[in-house]
Amino acid sequence: MASMSPDAPTVLIIDDEEVVARALGRVLRRQGGYTVRTAATGEEGLAMAAEFRPEVALVDLQMPGMYGTEVVRRMREFSEHTECVVITGHGNAKDAFEVLRLGASDYFEKPIEDWARFIQVIRQAVRIRELKK
């Protein structure tokens, strides 16, 4: 596992599927050197983001309670410098258009098959966030 420096960028994974969140976290730590935190619901993720303002929020679209588009919309309201990347196992063009319109940096369908592209998108989101600051 990559060692984390105190100033390593933080990625908040908001996904109700624990297995998916763990797998994503493992890849982000090992291949990207990121600090990773997880939340199982949109509400929990927004509360965590309000507390520590992650560089990137990786948001699942379909979760019980708050839908991912609402999480992205609310994230933009109070943490404008947090970049959102959306992931979903039930993707369609309408949802992809909507999350991008709301300000998400990118959109991935599960299962993620191109891990190199995934890490590249997260790195780009961190760079965008740094430029916005």
Q: Report pLDDT digits (tens) over 30-49.
A: 998 999 999 999 999 999 99
What does the alpha-carbon distance between residue 87 and residue 90 come to, in Å, rounded to a whole number?
9
Q: Give the percent of the chain with pLDDT over 70.
A: 95
Is residue 71 a contact partner of residue 42, using CB atoms and an 8 Å limit? yes
Taking the whole predicted model, whether its pTM rises above 0.75 is answered as: yes
pLDDT at 2 over 50: no
Q: How many CB atoms lie under 10 A from the CB of residue 26?
A: 12
pLDDT at 93 over 60: yes
Report the side by side order of strands in the sheet with 10-14. Answer: 35-39, 10-14, 56-60, 83-88, 106-109
DSSP 80-105: TTSEEEEEESS--HHHHHHHHHTT-S
Query: Predicted confidence band at 95 (pLDDT cuts at 50, 70, 90)?
Result: confident
Instruction: Point out which residues pair with 86 in neighbouring strands.
Output: 59, 107
pLDDT at 1 over 80: no
Estimate to the nearest angstrom the gap between the alpha carbon of 102 and the chain centroid.
14
**Mean pLDDT within 114-130:** 93
Pairing, β 56-60 against β 83-88:
parallel
**Mean pLDDT within 101-125:** 93
Q: Which residue has the higher pLDDT, 78 or 69?
A: 69
